[in-house]
Structure 1
Amino acid sequence: MDLLKGMIPTIVKSSADMLDEWSKLVLSGASEIDVQKEFRELTADIISRTAFGSNFTEGKEIFDMQAKQMILTAESFSTVYIPGFRFLPTTKNRQRWNLEKNIRRCLKQVIDARKKTAGMEKPGSYGADLLGFIMSKSKEQAGVNAKSKASLSTEEIIDECKTFYFGGHETTSVLLTWTIILLGIHQDWQERGRREVLEVCGRNKYPDADGLVLFKIVGMIINETLRLYPPADGVLRQACAPTKLGRISIPAGTQLELPILAIHHDPALWGNDANDFNPGRFSEGIAKAAKHPMAFMPFGAGPTICVGQNFALSEAKMVLAMILQKFSFVTSPSYTHAPFLLFTLRPQYGAQVILLNSI
């Protein structure tokens, strides 16, 4: 969390730049925007800067390639499965292979450059961004036992960097998109969130890291959005040993799917208003929001919980607070409600809202 606090100024700067553009649109009379597109650009900029620091341009290029890879992979899921087909040199398969190769090559170049810089400056110091933090756990770090289970190889660091994309970009982007859509519909909660933000930091001062913990209503709104529209609709877990779940015996190696979306909408856990937007259910915390303390799991749970959870929540709180501080808005009549799963749950036809005024 201390590392994340140091990244708040970067989040604020990128968000302020976006809001300045929104103000220009309002002044020009073009008040309708697609927040899905806006948030994808914003979160890409933020994660590129916070993950790669001065190498954020390379980071953006890598994330662009990974976005294309995600679409190609999703297309493969929607076709009839033919055993062994993924190994054939079809046009789409060659595109997937080339993207994966280039993503890993670019990431390795960034990592190698960071190692070289760290060696010339201060040995073992890889920087204060996310990449530097991950590299500090590298097996190559001086003084660290290379056999330690906690250390990471270069290939593992590359995989963690790829995870940044979902934990710090894709997840936050769709979370903010659904939050704005819901608040555009539910004006009462939009106003309650705005009042809280103005009470904490006023109209002219942007929120800071210490102010994040004071945003209780903003946090409730974000949690309820995550409940209704979790970015990931489910997670997979594999039993590494024979296990008993109640009366069910699970053999070792069995893969189980946890349907997060279904769990989050289960009336037996959340009550008869399970499909309604009601942030008040989180007023006493997450554990008491449902009839079971583990019913809320938008980022998964346990030792393999999403590595980007704290980053995504901190970023979402900060961006939402800054929007509420500066703008009021409603969902546009042109918006079509069509949740669509493409690795993450997102609006299929965009998320159009109308900015009413700059506060």
Structure 2
Amino acid sequence: MVLAMTLVSVPWGLLVCGLLCLALLRQGAKLLDVLWLRPRRLERELRAQGLHGTPYRFPIGDIKDYGRLSKEAWSRPLPLRCHDIAPHVAPFLYNTIQEHGKTCFSWFGPIPKVTISDPDLAKDVMSNKFGHFEKTKFPALSKLLAEGLASIEGEKWAKHRRILNPAFQLEKVKRMLPAFSACCEDLVRRWTESLSSDGSCELDVWPELQNLTGDVISRTAFSSNYLEGRRIFQLQSEQSKRLMTNIQKILIPGYLSMPTENNKRMSEINKEIELILRGLVGKRIQAMKEGESTKDDLLGLLLDSNMRDVDEHGQSSLGMTLEDVIEECKLFYFAGMETTSVLLTWTMIVLSMHPEWQDRAREEVTGLFGKNKPEYEGLNRLKTVTMILYEVLRLYPPAITFNRKTYKEMKIGGITYPTGVMIELPVMFIHHDPDIWGSDVHEFNPERFAQGVSKASKNTGAFLPFGWGPRICIGQNFALLEAKMAISMIIQQFEFELAPSYSHTPHTVITMQPMHGAQINLRVI
């Protein structure tokens, strides 16, 4: 009774202020733990086990140094024919490994990031030998770009992978060759029309090859042409650049909820992409409900597999929701265009630097196909072209690192890692390690792959452009077949060399790209 009377006598304003103060104190305690206490504790645990790395700096770790060193390195182009690109592309990571060893740690904000450069341990992490590792993810960022198979986890990932697998089986990909060929024909015709009276021209092939792979993914995924998908490519390109240039701010908790001009634009981009895809997917689902036959494109195969999906007990499962399908379509567009376009671009750049290999590739292609369209059996017999593509993927991997995260305490290579530690697998550094690939590691030498990937280096698992284990890139057959078709049709028609305006400045915007384009002098054969 006395307590009740006391509560009634307390002014409401004071009570509300007290509750607000408690809430603020609780949030302050959480921030203190996330931004200071926990990082300091994790740093002590890692150092106690003999690991070396950078000291934690409140509140964003090494992100500022990462950005500063990258900006400085990217302001200076590399010499032509220089393939020793790791110090230039990722200078902070390069310096950290040089100073602290091949297994070391740095700080991604308040999160410790342990770099493991041993390919055997990297494969073990990706194959889940030590238990389940989560993909390192930032939900807000994934949602703004593509929250599909590449970022989801657990049972949802297993279901999506099971539903998507049929669409990427080699037999299904082979049926897409006519679409690959038609898109390449359009590219060759467009380049031919650009030639001057002497049969030559200068062209920036980087946007041209983005257009090509965008056209391919539009036709193979949605049975539409590139013009219908152009808007999505433009939007996703802008989105990835906005995400990367603002990564330091975006990592601050709650920053994406702030009404800044950049945040509002990224939200608008995401909504427009989803609106376009919702229309494409909705029309296809309606057509299927009305009895139309399933189109033999990626979306049709995905929707058909989704409807046929059954659980482990043989019962029909819910499959993917409409939102799930839209996110996977966003990933189709981004990954389908981005990975192959950067592979083709670096291949043309490198073959321009090494004309002797361009000649060898052309001799092989013309020997198999003459001036005719390449077909699957012939593409499958391209040994020199395949060796070239592998060596380009080794020197210029589209993704320079893969990242995982410990969801519980785990032991890797004799080191116990606490919960919540990022594990960084530096693909580019593994690909450029002289202890693995030999003293010619920074030379363009496709002959190293003459006996296949497993015998190309001292370690059979050191070639990781598409990842490893259960989460290996689902589209690698698609990407390699598309790349073989494109390179074959280009070298059938053209010789090429670097233009004087080309600047050799590889840098990363999600994938490794030529910072100032890829200016090439084309000459018709």
* CA–CA distance in structure 2, aligned partners of residues 48 and 39 of structure 1: 14
Q: Which amino acid aligns with 2:435?
A: A
* CA–CA distance in structure 1, aligned partners of residues 421 and 302 of structure 2: 31
SS in 1 for 2:455: coil
* CA–CA distance in structure 2, aligned partners of residues 162 and 115 of structure 1: 17
Residue of structure 2 in register with 1:82 after alignment? 252
Aligned CA distance change for structure 1 residues 160 and 320 (closer, same or farther; 3 Å)? same
Matched, 1:198 2:370: no
Deviation string 1:133-152 (CA, Å, 9 cap, x unpaired) is 222232xx167459778933
Residue of structure 2 in register with 1:60 after alignment? 230
* CA–CA distance in structure 2, aligned partners of residues 239 and 149 of structure 1: 30
Q: Name which of 169, 174, 187 aligns with 1:5.
A: 174
Pairing 1:143-292 to 2, within 5 Å after superposition: 144=310, 151-202=319-370, 204-240=371-407, 242-292=409-459
SS in 1 for 2:195: helix
* CA–CA distance in structure 2, aligned partners of residues 324 and 178 of structure 1: 15
Deviation string 1:31-64 (CA, Å, 9 cap, x unpaired) is 1111112101111111111111147654332232
Deviation string 1:238-295 (CA, Å, 9 cap, x unpaired) is 3355433221123454331111111111111111111111111111111111111221
Residue pair 2:449, 2:456 contacting (<8 A) in 1 also = yes
How far off is 1:340 after superposition? 1.3
SS in 1 for 2:223: helix
* CA–CA distance in structure 2, aligned partners of residues 61 and 328 of structure 1: 32
Q: Name which of 296, 300, 306 aligns with 1:128.
A: 296
* CA–CA distance in structure 1, aligned partners of residues 489 and 303 of structure 2: 32
How far off is 1:161 after superposition? 1.2
SS in 2 for 1:60: helix
Q: Which amino acid aligns with 2:191?
A: W
How many equivalent pairs are there?
A: 353
* CA–CA distance in structure 1, aligned partners of residues 498 and 507 of structure 2: 18
Aligned CA distance change for structure 1 residues 79 and 248 (closer, same or farther; 3 Å)? same
Matched, 1:310 2:477: yes
* CA–CA distance in structure 2, aligned partners of residues 60 and 310 of structure 1: 24
Residue pair 1:167, 1:307 contacting (<8 A) in 2 also = no
* CA–CA distance in structure 2, aligned partners of residues 193 and 150 of structure 1: 48
Normalised to the residue count of structure 1, the TM-score between the two structures is: 0.92
* CA–CA distance in structure 1, aligned partners of residues 316 and 448 of structure 2: 43
Aligned CA distance change for structure 1 residues 102 and 25 (closer, same or farther; 3 Å)? closer
Q: Which amino acid aligns with 2:346?
A: W
Q: Percent identity?
A: 42
Aligned CA distance change for structure 1 residues 255 and 78 (closer, same or farther; 3 Å)? closer
Residue of structure 1 in register with 2:266 after alignment? 96
Q: Name which of 475, 482, 487 aligns with 1:320.
A: 487
Q: Which amino acid aligns with 1:26?
A: L
Q: CA RMSD in A?
A: 2.2
Q: Which amino acid aligns with 1:39?
A: L
Aligned CA distance change for structure 1 residues 348 and 150 (closer, same or farther; 3 Å)? farther
* CA–CA distance in structure 2, aligned partners of residues 126 and 151 of structure 1: 17
Residue pair 1:167, 1:311 contacting (<8 A) in 2 also = no
Task: Please say which of residues 238-247 and 28-37 is displaced more in the overlay.
Answer: 238-247
Matched, 1:19 2:19: no
Aligned CA distance change for structure 1 residues 94 and 53 (closer, same or farther; 3 Å)? same
Q: Which amino acid aligns with 1:283?
A: A
* CA–CA distance in structure 2, aligned partners of residues 311 and 78 of structure 1: 34
Residue of structure 1 in register with 2:514 after alignment? 347
SS in 1 for 2:447: helix
Aligned CA distance change for structure 1 residues 92 and 318 (closer, same or farther; 3 Å)? same
Residue pair 1:236, 1:257 contacting (<8 A) in 2 also = yes
* CA–CA distance in structure 2, aligned partners of residues 242 and 262 of structure 1: 26
Residue of structure 2 in register with 1:106 after alignment? 276
Residue pair 1:52, 1:59 contacting (<8 A) in 2 also = no
* CA–CA distance in structure 2, aligned partners of residues 55 and 227 of structure 1: 32
Normalised to the residue count of structure 2, the TM-score between the two structures is: 0.64
Unpaired stretches in structure 2, ≥5 consecutive residues: 1-169
Q: Which amino acid aligns with 2:205?
A: V
Residue of structure 2 in register with 1:300 after alignment? 467
Residue pair 1:115, 1:126 contacting (<8 A) in 2 also = no
Aligned CA distance change for structure 1 residues 148 and 282 (closer, same or farther; 3 Å)? farther
* CA–CA distance in structure 1, aligned partners of residues 443 and 194 of structure 2: 32
Task: Please say which of residues 161-170 and 73-82 is displaced more in the overlay.
Answer: 73-82
Displacement over 6 Å in runs of 4+: 146-150
Task: Please say which of residues 212-221 and 50-59 is displaced more in the overlay.
Answer: 50-59
Deviation string 1:154-199 (CA, Å, 9 cap, x unpaired) is 2222222122123321111111111001001101111111111011
SS in 1 for 2:381: coil
* CA–CA distance in structure 2, aligned partners of residues 70 and 256 of structure 1: 23
Q: Which amino acid aligns with 1:249?
A: T
* CA–CA distance in structure 2, aligned partners of residues 153 and 252 of structure 1: 31
* CA–CA distance in structure 1, aligned partners of residues 408 and 297 of structure 2: 37
Task: Please say which of residues 31-40 and 95-104 is displaced more in the overlay.
Answer: 95-104
SS in 1 for 2:328: helix
Unpaired stretches in structure 1, ≥5 consecutive residues: none
How far off is 1:318 after superposition? 0.5
Residue pair 2:309, 2:319 contacting (<8 A) in 1 also = no
